[in-house]
Structure 1
Amino acid sequence: MTVHFPFQNSYSALPDSFFARVAPTPVAAPRLIKLNRPLAVQLGLDPDVLETPEGAEILAGKTVPAGADPIAMAYAGHQFGNFVPQLGDGRAILLGEVIDKDGVRRDIQLKGSGPTPFSRRGDGRAALGPVLREYIVSEAMFALGIPTTRSLAAVVTGEHVIRETALPGAVLTRVASSHIRVGTFQFFAARRDTEAVRRLADHVIPRHYPELSGTERPYHALLAGVVARQADLVARWLLVGFIHGVMNTDNSSISGETIDYGPCAFMDAYNPAQVFSSIDEMGRYAYANQPRIALWNLTRLAECLLQLFGEEQEKAVEQAQEILGAFPETFSKAYQAGLRRKVGLFTERDGDEALIQDLLDTMAKNQADFTLTFRKLGDAAGDPAADDARAEFMDPADFDDWARRWHERTAWEPQTAAERQAAMHAINPIFIPRNHRVEAVIQAAVNNDDYAPFEELVKVLAKPYQDQPEYEAYADPPLPDERVLQTFCGT
């Protein structure tokens, strides 16, 4: 059987300055760990063929499939606020693009497939742990309904990579609407290559914002479109307790997808200042800072696009500021609407925002589990006598005071108790990729070559909103000795 990828590549048709042509580096003994069969079918690929040894060789980068045009994309970026004029794909190679069954163009990229001209003395490889983390979390985000890159496959290479110690090597096959970032625009803007910025924008608009094609001011509209998507995306992150961990501009996708799952994590106890990333020593990318940082990143994109707004610089700056000015309201509307739904409020009344903020403040004070508090509120919405939620609070009396006011407010809603509970359970997950569970999966795989825990966790997280009694332990927060205090970048 032959593995067939129906490539229809477009990015590699752009000028050579946009990328470096480079093939994946062959590996010793590739072995497939996991194939995302439903995603393969969605991409028009044959999962049975991909699961053969020939398929594993392609997914590991040992063999390049027909029609591929392997490239490493060029980009720059602000990393923790410091501008680096050249970054690029240092350990990822874009094999090509396919049109999926919904007519959406999707990148297929190998992550950990060997050095590129952008590797900056790195080995271009990935260790098994970060590959499993990205597979687990990106697919969990998809199941949660959050725009994200996807994971098609994970393969071990039969080789070791050297980090602090020798670790099993692996390759992740990542799928995205594209891998174009704010940093991609920065790469050309930093070189004052206006024509390349224009060429990139002209590629992005029909690919990600086709409704803007033919508009009078397409580049203004492009900035507005990216602002709107990023505002909505970050609101969705906050509503499930997600912390990206490294919101550099090179990790900010133009398509509005979550990309680059390095030191990411989901909160257990609610804490607006929560940081997990070992490299975020100043808390720049803390949970509550994410909206502000998203706007900061979008401002860097606006700076790149100014040269396309017109020759009058002062007017261009005013126009960009006006577009960026929409971010706070767009984010706030999405976030507040999501919070109202999380607590079972489907109409708007004065005092709602204060009521919800009081809950969040009480949760922070009492170190209440973010996910379980909202899930158990759904139980209480269906049965006012249910008091499981109060167990999440160190001082249950604090919750009782808030719950009394909440029940008074929900009495004004038109839904029945059963309808409210069903609606709340449909948006408040019970299962998230808790850090201690992810870490346990990684340790079993790295230390014992045991992937059964990985398979089970992926299975549970595919249905985050459904009660799964046989897997109810996966909903539990960590015990004190299980807490993961730091997460680490995949490099």
Structure 2
Amino acid sequence: MNIDKITQPFIKTFPGDFSGNPMQRNTPKVLFSIVDPAGFEDPKMIIFNEELSEEIGLGKFEEKDFDFLVGNNLPENVQTYSTAYAGHQFGNWAGQLGDGRAILAGEIKNESGKKTEIQWKGAGATPYSRHADGRAVLRSSVREYLMSEAMFNLGIPTTRALSLAFTGENVIRDMMYSGNPQAEKGAVVIRTAESFLRFGHFELISAQGEYKTLQDLLDFTIKNYFPEITSEGIQKYKDFFKNVSTRIADLMVEWFKVGFVHGVMNTDNMSILGLTIDYGPYSMMDEYDLNFTPNTTDLPGRRYAFGKQGQISQWNLWQLANALHPIIKDEKFLEDTLNAYGDYFWAAHDKMLCQKFGFDTLLESDEEFFTSWQALMQELQLDYTLFFNQLEKLDEENDLKLLFSDISYSFLTKEKYSKIEDFAKKYRLRLEKNRVSKEESIALMSKTNPKFILRNYLLFECIKEINSGKTEILDKLITALKNPYIEIFSEFSQKRPSNYDDIAGCSTLSCSS
């Protein structure tokens, strides 16, 4: 790999070098801290993303590159650091946070000039670890690697994963916060993104009253990551906020499209570029449930439930607006932009649902149709992904019992089948209002509804197998997630088996990693 081309944009741009002993503590008035990866004595490679490495400009992997992938014996040109940020966690101001187990190596530029930041996750403690060890366990690292790549191949903005390796260490974690800590295999993942800037970076600087630095960060962000913004003065910052709001709304619609539930949408987990970031207690939805949250820490309030993600993203944007107000200084503009967010989101959401159903345009009557569909899905506990896969096969000759019997997580009584029949009639009548052919309608559905999603039970089995030294499931999942709109392995196209219900680390997850 071409490691010598890695540079450090943050350090060259902002003041606040904190290169002393990186003990875990508050670092007021500081934007980043120089910190070295812990280093590992007996690491072992699990998987390396050759395609991504070539794409971002690092080139082909050679054995000598392995040290870099785990943060060992780094070359002199690589100056590693972690950043400070703040955030609202579960609706409450948490104050200073930061890269608690993420260490940045810098950025690489490919042949076309595109820049990509490179970051270790799980490579040791930083000043922002909040008395934690900065390590990561295998299960969380596998989940991050695979899900970020799955989202990329689904066409959803996301951070990406370059490599995954065992550290050779054991890490102590209380997975369900139940007072039962256990030793687990440690791992380190390298993730990449155009930028890892978060809402929280802007919140921290604003909360500290460092408005000149806040404006400098805004100028840096706009110049480097928002080339479409060409306005000047205050208008530039207004256009920036509008752009971020649109990106976040579009991201939420993409999550709804495939049934992704983030699980912990704190403002410090929101990318300023509108990327999916920080894959913790997430889940792809099995049975359709607007109130579903995979995160045990989110119970019983279910603040970050599937159906609330649009609402919470707007709430998070309100916090960003508060942080940027000292620069923008226009309450009415910020309020108008945020009040318009809901209209934009729902229009985009309903357009997306039209595509999932194969409708060529949105009709006024579709709101009622969508509402009745949601009620059917929840009452019958139908699998979100499989429902649309089966709907593509619906015609006048179908036996509805055969079509839908294996996609429900409840027993389908005669009464429930009659409700499916009623829906099928409504759906056929709605399709008659299309201005495109049936073939074109199905083609629209096929490119909108994935055939493969990375379900938690598959991840659970994959992690268990990697722990035992095997990679058969991992290899199959990598193949499947690269082609999510095609069915490659039929065994992956089934609802969650009942023996995985209520299994810790599968159906129930926590923020512990």
Task: Give, as a single letter, the amino acid of the residue that structure 1 aligns with 2:69.
Answer: L
Task: Give, as a single letter, the amino acid of the residue that structure 2 aligns with 1:39.
Answer: L
Matches within 5 A, 1:400-419: 400-419=421-440
* 1:206 alignment partner in structure 2: 223
1:194 aligns with 2:215: no
Alpha-carbon contact 2:295-2:511 (below 8 Å) kept: yes
Matches within 5 A, 1:120-159: 120-159=130-169
Structure 1 residue 3 displacement after superposition: 4.8
Task: Give, as a single letter, the amino acid of the residue that structure 2 aligns with 1:293.
Answer: I
Structure 1 residue 100 displacement after superposition: 3.5
1:103 aligns with 2:113: yes
The CA distance in 2 between the partners of 1:80 and 1:156, in whole Å, is 32
Structure 1 residue 390 displacement after superposition: 3.0
* 1:15 alignment partner in structure 2: 15
Matches within 5 A, 1:196-275: 196-216=213-233, 217-275=235-293
1:179 aligns with 2:196: yes
* 1:358 alignment partner in structure 2: 372
TM-score scaled to structure 1, two decimals?
A: 0.94
* 1:309 alignment partner in structure 2: 328
* 2:49 alignment partner in structure 1: 36
Aligned-pair RMSD on alpha carbons? 1.6
| Equivalent residue in structure 1 for 2:340, among 326, 331, 347 | 326
The CA distance in 1 between the partners of 2:7 and 2:280, in whole Å, is 29
CA shift digits 1:318-366 (9 cap, x unpaired): 2210111221012112111100000010123231121122112101110
The CA distance in 2 between the partners of 1:5 and 1:34, in whole Å, is 22
* 1:47 alignment partner in structure 2: 60
* 2:356 alignment partner in structure 1: 342
- Can you give the 5+ residue segments of structure 1 that lack an aligned partner in the other structure? 311-315
Structure 1 residue 413 displacement after superposition: 1.6
CA shift digits 1:295-322 (9 cap, x unpaired): 1111010001100023xxxxx2222101
Alpha-carbon contact 1:379-1:386 (below 8 Å) kept: no
Alpha-carbon contact 2:451-2:487 (below 8 Å) kept: yes
Structure 1 residue 101 displacement after superposition: 4.8
CA shift digits 1:66-99 (9 cap, x unpaired): 5322110110111111212111111110100112
Task: Give, as a single letter, the amino acid of the residue that structure 1 aligns with 2:479.
Answer: K
CA shift digits 1:206-249 (9 cap, x unpaired): 22211113335111111111100001101110111110000001
Structure 1 residue 65 displacement after superposition: 3.6
Alpha-carbon contact 1:81-1:248 (below 8 Å) kept: yes
Task: Give, as a single letter, the amino acid of the residue that structure 1 aligns with 2:109.
Answer: I
The CA distance in 2 between the partners of 1:477 and 1:443, in whole Å, is 20
| Cα 1:277–1:102 shift into 2, 3 Å | farther
Matches within 5 A, 1:452-467: 452-467=472-487
The CA distance in 1 between the partners of 2:168 and 2:2, in whole Å, is 21
| Equivalent residue in structure 1 for 2:507, among 474, 478, 485 | 485
Structure 1 residue 5 displacement after superposition: 4.5
* 1:169 alignment partner in structure 2: 186
Structure 1 SS opposite 2:430? helix
Task: Give, as a single letter, the amino acid of the residue that structure 1 aligns with 2:309.
Answer: Q
Task: Give, as a single letter, the amino acid of the residue that structure 1 aligns with 2:104.
Answer: L
| Equivalent residue in structure 2 for 1:87, among 66, 87, 97 | 97
CA shift digits 1:434-485 (9 cap, x unpaired): 1111111111222x122221221122121110122xx101111112112243
TM-score scaled to structure 2, two decimals?
A: 0.90
* 1:313 alignment partner in structure 2: none
The CA distance in 2 between the partners of 1:422 and 1:101, in whole Å, is 36
Task: Give, as a single letter, the amino acid of the residue that structure 2 aligns with 1:348.
Answer: L
| Cα 1:66–1:343 shift into 2, 3 Å | farther
Structure 2 SS opposite 1:47? coil
